[in-house]
């Protein structure tokens, strides 16, 4: 229902089977096609929920979800509720929702809605890209020590790819299964999260399904390992190892009494023992290097000074699930949450103000002072490397009259006020800018211009921009003969875009540059000479040309 932009762009679609309208990325559709799975999440979750209810049989939850409850749940997590996608709607059935922040339509289950829209996901500063100047580059795959390195196909992949690919890369690479030797291609990101062979994985899945089905007809009493640990009141001769979803009591050699399904205990053992092993490994890691296991400085700065009793902040792990009190020193709001939940998903600095952790204001306070009040949110609501639906406006801290627009990543990477910046501007260009200020009263230098009429580029940097009194603008471009000798095409494209945006365009082209093939009443050229510059005289001629097309005294 929307034109194709790029593989990673969200695009509105309508399902040809059920008619549900939702946004999907093209690369997501391609991956689902490869898995022979429905792209439409409404179709997928409807079928999944039916299969789950069929699997649980008489124990399936058939309590309908009231529409009011679903609506309240969606609105609480940043969605507008549109409709239930089944009638009646049970607990695992999908619902049609729209994100209040990015307007993305989706088919989500109640549990998925609780995570919020992915547009509100706020990665920690350590994982954000691009990297600020001086920050260590992202970890290379070859140095990661991950088990997936054994799958890397050194014969099929170039050496340059091996030397440069990172652990977060989404590029395609060649792999070789260490078990069967099959060669295949897959994205690096997918293999890191779940390395699987296209040939071996279906076989393993089939073997697991066959085993699970076989154990459905096998009683616990026939499996010695389960019978030895059985501590439930039911007769083990009547309880099947798998199926039905019932939990039963076991006793492990360490004395724990977990309540789990027989199949889970057979395959995974005692969950308490596994937790103890994980905890022991974690403590050993803390003793070896405690720094990575402390709360981030920003979260620690919000520790409530009086309501946490004898709980020690220094000993609290970032992964702790203990509910404690927090207070934002900026707004004074207080709330309860666990350290683990604070560092997940949206990662809010204050849940009431909806400010975020690792914001521009926290990491770059100097840039935050230049954040314009005309922006729809504050500098505490955006990340230094985040993407916004609007182009942020900035106000120069040195000269408040200088106002410009620039993206967050460009500012975090070191860009400053284009008018105060002299780097990249020739002296002759600066002289003509000063002459324009004398002639017109006010002129901007190096301003970034964006407009919906631009078709060549999304943004152009104009040498000199003048605001005219009747709402029009004048763009003055200085074309040096050395730098613009082979840029006639770019100069023409820039001029035509500016004209389409309603600018009057005057180009000062050094001799012997040829004239551009532009025939438009809002465009003119003046020949200038680098050996005999006359900024005031040239700008005076530009002013006269503007006057001939406008009422005198309109600026």
SS3 labels along 174-243: EEECCCCCCEEEEEHHHHHHCCCCCCHHHHHHHHHHHHHHHHHCCEHHHCHHHHHHECCCCCCCCCECCC
**pLDDT confidence of residue 137:** 45
**pLDDT confidence of residue 72:** 95
Strands 105-108 and 172-176: unpaired
- CA 339 – CA 361 distance, rounded (Å): 22
Whether pLDDT at 313 is above 50:
yes
337 band by pLDDT with thresholds 50, 70 and 90: very high
Whether pLDDT at 136 is above 70:
no
CATH 3.40.1350 segments of the chain? 427-548
- Percent helix, strand, coil in the chain, to 5, is 35, 20, 50
Average pLDDT over residues 417-426: 71
- CA 6 – CA 141 distance, rounded (Å): 26
Instruction: Compute the radius of gyration of the chain from its Cα atoms.
Output: 32
319 band by pLDDT with thresholds 50, 70 and 90: confident
Whether pLDDT at 363 is above 60:
yes
Average pLDDT over residues 132-154: 75
Whether pLDDT at 236 is above 70:
yes
Whether pLDDT at 135 is above 50:
no
**pLDDT confidence of residue 401:** 84
CA-to-CA dists, residue 250 to 219, 232, 274, angstroms: 15, 7, 15
Name beta bridge partners: 152. Answer: 175
- Which range, 220-234, 280-294, 421-435, is most confident? 220-234
| pTM score, whole prediction | 0.54
Q: Which fold has domain 427-548?
A: Trna Endonuclease; Chain: A, domain 1 (3.40.1350)
- CA 449 – CA 446 distance, rounded (Å): 9
188 band by pLDDT with thresholds 50, 70 and 90: very high
Q: What pLDDT, in 10s, does the model give residues 448-468? A: 888 888 988 888 989 999 988
**pLDDT confidence of residue 535:** 92
Whether pLDDT at 378 is above 70:
yes
Whether pLDDT at 550 is above 80:
no
Pick the range with the lowest mean pLDDT from 280-294, 381-395, 521-535: 280-294
Average pLDDT of the chain, as a whole number: 88
Average pLDDT over residues 527-547: 91
**pLDDT confidence of residue 130:** 45
Strands 95-99 and 79-84: antiparallel
- Which range, 17-21, 350-354, 366-370, 477-481, is most confident? 17-21
Q: What pLDDT, in 10s, does the model give residues 253-308? A: 999 999 999 999 999 999 988 888 876 776 666 566 555 557 888 999 999 999 99
Q: What pLDDT, in 10s, does the model give residues 38-65? A: 899 999 999 999 999 998 888 888 999 9
Average pLDDT over residues 216-227: 94
């Amino acid at each position: 229902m929307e034109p194709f932009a790029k593989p990673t762009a969200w695009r509105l679609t309508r399902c040809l089977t059920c008619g549900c309208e939702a946004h999907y990325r093209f690369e997501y559709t391609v991956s689902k096609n490869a898995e022979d799975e429905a792209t439409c999440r409404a179709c997928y979750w409807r079928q999944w929920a039916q299969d789950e209810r069929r699997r649980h049989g008489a124990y399936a939850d058939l309590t309908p979800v009231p529409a009011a409850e679903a609506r309240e749940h969606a609105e609480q997590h940043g969605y507008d509720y549109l409709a239930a996608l089944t009638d009646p709607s049970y607990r695992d059935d999908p619902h049609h929702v729209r994100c209040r922040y990015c307007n993305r339509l989706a088919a989500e289950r109640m549990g998925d809605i609780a995570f919020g829209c992915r547009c509100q996901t706020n990665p920690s500063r350590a994982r954000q890209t691009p990297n600020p100047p001086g920050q260590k580059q992202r970890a290379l795959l070859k140095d990661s020590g991950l088990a997936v390195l054994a799958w890397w196909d050194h014969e099929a992949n170039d050496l340059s790819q091996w030397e440069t690919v990172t652990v977060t890369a989404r590029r395609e690479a060649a792999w070789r299964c260490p078990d069967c030797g099959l060669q295949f291609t897959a994205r690096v990101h997918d293999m890191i999260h779940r390395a699987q062979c296209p040939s071996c994985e279906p076989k393993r899945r089939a073997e697991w399904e066959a085993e699970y089905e076989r154990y459905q007809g096998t009683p616990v009493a026939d499996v010695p390992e389960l019978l030895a640990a059985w501590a439930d009141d039911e007769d083990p001769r009547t309880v099947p190892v798998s199926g039905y979803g019932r939990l039963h009591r076991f006793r492990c050699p360490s004395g724990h009494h977990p309540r789990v399904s027989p199949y889970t205990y057979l395959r995974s053992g005692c969950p308490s023992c596994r937790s103890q092993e994980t905890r022991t490994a974690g403590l050993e890691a803390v003793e070896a290097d405690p720094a990575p296991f402390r709360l981030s400085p920003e979260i620690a700065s919000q520790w409530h000074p009086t309501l946490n009793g004898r709980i020690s902040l220094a000993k609290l792990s970032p992964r702790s699930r203990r509910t404690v009190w927090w207070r934002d020193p900026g707004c004074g709001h207080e709330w309860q949450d666990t350290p683990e939940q604070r560092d997940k998903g949206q990662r809010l600095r204050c849940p009431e103000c909806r400010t975020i952790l690792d914001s521009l204001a926290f990491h770059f306070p100097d840039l935050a002072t230049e954040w314009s009040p005309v922006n729809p949110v504050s500098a505490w609501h955006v990340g230094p490397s985040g993407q916004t639906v609007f182009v942020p406006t900035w106000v120069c801290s040195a000269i408040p009259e200088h106002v410009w627009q620039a993206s967050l990543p460009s500012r975090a990477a070191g860009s400053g006020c284009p008018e105060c910046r002299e780097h990249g501007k020739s002296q002759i260009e600066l002289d003509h800018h000063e002459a324009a200020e004398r002639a017109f009263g006010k002129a901007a230098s190096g301003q970034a211009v964006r407009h919906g009429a631009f078709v060549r580029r999304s943004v152009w940097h104009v040498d000199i921009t003048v605001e005219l009194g009747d709402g029009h603008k004048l763009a003055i471009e200085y074309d040096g003969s050395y730098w613009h000798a082979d840029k006639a095409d770019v100069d023409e494209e820039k001029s035509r875009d500016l004209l389409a945006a309603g600018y009057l365009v005057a180009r000062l082209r050094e001799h012997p540059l040829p004239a551009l093939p532009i025939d438009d009443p809002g465009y003119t050229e003046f020949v200038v000479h680098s050996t005999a510059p006359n900024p005031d005289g040239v700008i005076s001629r530009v002013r006269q040309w503007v006057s001939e097309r406008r009422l005198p005294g309109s600026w």
